[in-house]
Amino acid sequence: MNYHNWVDIDFHDIEDNNNYYALLGVKETATEDEIKTAWIKKLRTCSPNMWNTIANKEEKNRIMDLYFSYKDAYETLINDKKRANFNRFGRVIDVSEIIPGLWLGAFTAAVDHEFLKQHKISHVLSVLETPPTVPDNITHRYMYIVDALHGSLLPLLPEAFEFIETGLKNGTGVLVHCMAGVSRSASVVIGYLMKSEKKSWIEVSQFVRTRRDVISPGMGFELQIKHFEKMNYQITGQTPEHQEYHEKYTISGKFDPVLFWKEKYASSQYKEYI
């Protein structure tokens, strides 16, 4: 059966996939019900249930692409925060401004050169396994951090906080990102604001979540930042927490996050993770 005999598809739609309103055929003032109705209408033209009925491979791929474009548009416009972000930037950028000039986001924000330029971001802090390629005019700092319970964050915090502070003092923007802008980079931003605002983990994490509701800092990162707080945000010092850090959690002067995690959680409800 020829697919076009029974389904009316305009493949020109996919050329406008950066304009989600045009893609779904709704106005920028569209209500939630209007967006849902438009999505259902579009879905009738390219539902996954239809894919196996298409013999032509090229045509099938085009229809699948169209489906995912419609899906992205719907999921963005039906969500108030995602829609506001889309309206602000004119495209989908997974990033949130936490305080004026300090941005928290995903890898995609770091490689969006137009976004960096538009918001005068001069400093990019990358906290993940593989660094992005950023424009030459950007001051870039890369820190290798694995997103795991045993990921090592604490020793990097002084440098990370100083980097953020320098960018903000310059009066320009700072982007802190990992892969998804959920755990590693969120932990760094929370830790920085705890220090600069002299507030607790609970207070700051709740605030950051109001600015970016997808954050979910890892347990190991949370614990390391809380310990760093007790160390007065300094690696060297005379507090019991400094003594504990250097005597229990370092080997040949290097922080061991595995020892740290086991010591802190061995007798707790998180024992099963060890």
pLDDT values of the chain reduced to their tens digit, one per residue, 274 residues: 333 333 443 434 434 445 889 989 999 999 999 999 999 999 988 888 888 888 888 888 888 888 888 988 898 899 888 888 788 777 777 899 999 999 999 998 999 898 999 899 999 999 999 999 998 999 999 999 999 888 999 999 999 999 999 999 987 899 999 999 999 999 999 999 999 999 999 999 999 999 998 899 998 999 999 999 999 999 989 889 999 999 989 988 899 988 888 887 665 554 444 4
Q: Are the CB atoms for 103 and 116 separated by under 8 Å?
A: no
The whole-number pLDDT of residue 61 equals: 84
**Cα 148 from Cα 73, distance rounded (Å):** 32
The whole-number pLDDT of residue 149 equals: 82
3-state secondary structure of 34: helix
pTM score, whole prediction: 0.73
93-243: CATH topology is: Protein-Tyrosine Phosphatase; Chain A (3.90.190)
User: Of 169, 177, 153, nearest to 257 (Cα)?
Assistant: 153
The whole-number pLDDT of residue 66 equals: 86
Torsion angles phi and psi, residue 162, rounded to 5: -65, -40
**Cα 180 from Cα 127, distance rounded (Å):** 11
**Cα 256 from Cα 220, distance rounded (Å):** 12
Q: What is the 3-state secondary structure (H, E, C) of 125-152?
A: EEECCCCCCCCCCCEEEEECCCCCCCCC
**Cα 273 from Cα 151, distance rounded (Å):** 13
Catalytic residues: 178
Name 247's Cβ contacts closer than 8 Å, sequence gap at least 6: none
**Cα 58 from Cα 61, distance rounded (Å):** 5
The whole-number pLDDT of residue 262 equals: 81
The whole-number pLDDT of residue 225 equals: 94
The whole-number pLDDT of residue 227 equals: 92
Q: What is the dihedral of CA 127, 131, 135, 141, to 10 degrees?
A: 40
Q: Any alpha helices (H) in 183-272, and if so which ranges? A: 184-197, 201-211, 219-230, 240-248, 257-265
The whole-number pLDDT of residue 50 equals: 87
3-state secondary structure of 239: coil
Q: Give the CATH H-level superfamily of domain 3-86.
A: DnaJ domain (1.10.287.110)
3-state secondary structure of 200: coil
**Cα 24 from Cα 38, distance rounded (Å):** 6
Sequence ranges of the domains in the chain: 3-86, 93-243
End-to-end distance of the chain based on CA atoms, in angstroms?
Answer: 57
